[in-house]
Amino acid sequence: YTYENLIVEIENKIALVTLNRPQALNALNKNLLEDLSHFFDEALVDDSIRVVILTGSGEKSFVAGADIKEFASFDGKQGEQLAAKGQQDVFDKVEKFTKPVIAAVNGFALGGGLELAMASHFRIASKNAKLGLPEVTLGLIPGYGGTQRLPKLIGKGRAMQAIMTAEMFSADRAYEIGLVNEVVEQTELINRVKEIATKITQNSSVAIRHAITAINASDKEIGFDIEIKSFGNLFDEDDFKEGTTAFVEKRKPNFK
Ligand code: HXC
């Protein structure tokens, strides 16, 4: 299997996985999601991997979201399918992965990008990172678990404000509110995350597997279903056309 948009480097039981579409700030298109889905299936049964690190290629972006150009012409059914399939194939798989998954957030983590970082077990950011869920600027809501995972991580009120305003958190602010665990210089980011990963590889992998399952146990499932349905329904609204068209035309949306 050759990955189209992923670079996978395995060393000392640590898989460094780089999402590699720098021309689109590593936006999640169909290929990249398929690559990720495939990677996690393989990594689960690969004994040479004990910890996974996810990061973005380039110095500017972790992941700038789902690929807006790819879904701009979708209808409600396709929208719902996009969210449901992505959650099943990638985001749920990441969260429930029984080996630690660490997001090394090296720049923009927006929309589906922040959602991928939040599905990961914890996050370390570089100083230039900017994190947010800007979906409402497109006439959408988060569709890869953001409505469920953001309030869990930073509290309901902060999540409400972040999703309604679409504002981005700086790395320092993300640290203050517990969205990321540490902030380091960009040049140090991968080294620091590898250092943490190395520490993890020295601990009992069977114990860690059980810890992940226990920590994850909760009742978010209904919320995920509501999120997926709402995400799909929004594709049939005029605001979605206006929001995505404005993005492609590089102008501000004019919502009625
Ligand atoms: C497709 C994207 C993209 C995206 C950036 N690009 N983000 N393409 N989907 N999410 C492309 C741009 O179109 C541009 O390509 C190139 O990457 C560089 O981006 P610029 O905008 O020129 O860079 P800059 O001016 O520095 O602005 C960076 C940015 C901005 C603030 C991150 O790109 C931005 O706002 N991106 C969209 C963020 C967003 O709304 N994400 C949420 C998506 S919805 P060209 O070819 O024009 O040079 C989502 C839903 C998830 O994630 C749920 C799904 C079920």
Q: What is the pLDDT of residue 219?
A: 66
> Which of 32, 68, 87, 248, when mutated, tests ligand 1's pocket best, judged by the most ligand atoms within 8 Å of its CB?
68
Atom of ligand 1 nearest to the CA of 83: 55
Distance (Å) from CA 99 to ligand 1 centroid: 30
- Cβ(25) – ligand 1 distance below 6 Å: yes
pTM: 0.95
Listed as own residue / partner, the contacts of 240-244 with beta carbons closer than 8 Å and 24 or more positions apart are 240/138, 240/139, 240/140, 241/139, 242/139, 243/137, 243/138, 243/139, 243/140, 244/68, 244/71, 244/72, 244/138, 244/139
pLDDT tens-place string over residues 175-222:
999 999 999 999 999 999 999 999 999 998 999 998 898 888 876 778
Cα–Cα dist 249/252, whole Å: 9
pLDDT tens-place string over residues 212-250:
988 888 767 788 888 999 999 999 999 999 999 999 999
Q: Per the structure block, which two tokens stand in for 93?
A: 């798989």
pLDDT tens-place string over residues 137-165:
999 999 999 999 999 999 999 999 999 99
pLDDT tens-place string over residues 86-121:
999 999 999 999 999 999 999 999 999 999 999 999
Q: Per the structure block, which two tokens stand in for 48?
A: 């040479």
Cα–Cα dist 49/226, whole Å: 35
